[in-house]
């Protein structure tokens, strides 16, 4: 077990959170179930989270990434994640009852922390969601799983999506973004980077930090404050203010 945890840390380069999850599972199995109470390994391993900033794309990079996604059934949910700052699971779990287009509202139910929230939905995005749903007309899901079959036949694809029993798997979009990112030579980014980019671009445009906190569904403002370190506009505004302060001082 000691060699295993050294392997995932030094060779697999697992993040501290992943190591703690594996540690908890191994401890439960060997100590609680197999009764190896004398094993002290699990209490000796310590993992500390790194103070790393999330990957953020520029607005042009977001545009290039979405334009690179050729198939609409993949591009539409990615676009919604960026336009509304959603988590991947929140986006793919949406139902037709969560869309209130005439009120320009999108309901996010049972998100992280078992909390619901409402985010604004742009009219253009609402119209795109309507066109997307009109293709498959699933009775409940907005992004149903396409499953396996002939993707060259729109009728066959629409039928499979219409009768799907579950939403599109998260791994489909995750793999697609990784491939597109490498082909475009973009910085290390993932689907979740679109959510980070949404918050950063809103902050650069002048949105209040507390407004962004509510849109993202953060319980603590400290979680939202990380975006203050990522905005070019904040640094630029601070520099302008500092220039103004210095200009009035005696020489």
The secondary structure of 183-228 as a DSSP string is HHT--S--HHHHHHHHHHHHHHTT--HHHHHHHHT-SSHHHHGGGG
Q: Is 13 a catalytic residue?
A: no
Active-site residue flag, 63: no
192 is catalytic: yes
| 195 is an active site residue | yes
CA distance 169 to 184: 24
Task: Say which of 181, 195, 196, 201 is annotated catalytic.
Answer: 195
Among candidate residues 59, 63, 72, 112, the one labeled active-site is 112
Question: Judging by beta carbons within 10 Å of its beta carbon (0-12, 13-18, 19+), is residue 143 exposed, middle or buried?
Answer: buried
- Among candidate residues 87, 136, 181, 196, the one labeled active-site is 87
Distance of alpha carbon 42 from alpha carbon 36, whole angstroms: 11
Would residue 112 show up in a list of annotated catalytic residues for this protein?
A: yes
Contacts of 221 (CB under 8 A, 6+ apart): 209, 210, 213
The one catalytic residue in 105, 117, 162, 192 is 192
Active site (catalytic) residues: 87, 112, 192, 195, 218, 227
């Amino acid at each position: 077990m000691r060699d295993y945890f050294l392997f995932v840390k030094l060779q697999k380069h697992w993040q501290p959170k992943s190591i703690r999850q594996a540690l908890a599972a191994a401890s439960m199995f060997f100590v609680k179930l197999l009764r190896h109470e004398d094993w002290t390994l699990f209490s000796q391993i310590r993992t500390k989270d790194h103070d790393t900033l999330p990957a953020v794309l520029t607005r042009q990079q977001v545009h290039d990434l979405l334009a690179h996604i050729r198939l609409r059934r993949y591009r539409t949910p990615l676009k919604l994640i960026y336009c509304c700052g959603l988590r991947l699971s929140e986006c793919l779990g949406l139902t037709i009852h969560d869309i209130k287009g005439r009120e320009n509202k999108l309901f996010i139910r049972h998100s992280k922390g078992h909390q619901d929230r409402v985010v604004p939905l742009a009219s253009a995005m609402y119209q795109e969601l309507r066109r997307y749903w009109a293709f498959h007309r699933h009775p409940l899901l907005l992004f149903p799983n396409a499953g396996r079959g002939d993707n060259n036949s729109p009728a066959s694809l629409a039928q499979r999506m219409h009768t799907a029993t579950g939403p599109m798997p998260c791994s489909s979009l995750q793999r697609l973004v990784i491939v597109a990112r490498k082909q475009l030579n973009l910085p290390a980014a993932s689907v979740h980077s679109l959510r980070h980019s949404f918050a950063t671009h809103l902050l650069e445009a002048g949105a209040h930090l507390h407004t962004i906190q509510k849109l993202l569904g953060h319980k603590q403002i400290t979680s939202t404050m990380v975006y203050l370190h990522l905005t070019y506009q904040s640094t630029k505004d601070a520099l302008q203010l500092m220039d103004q302060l210095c200009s009035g001082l005696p020489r």
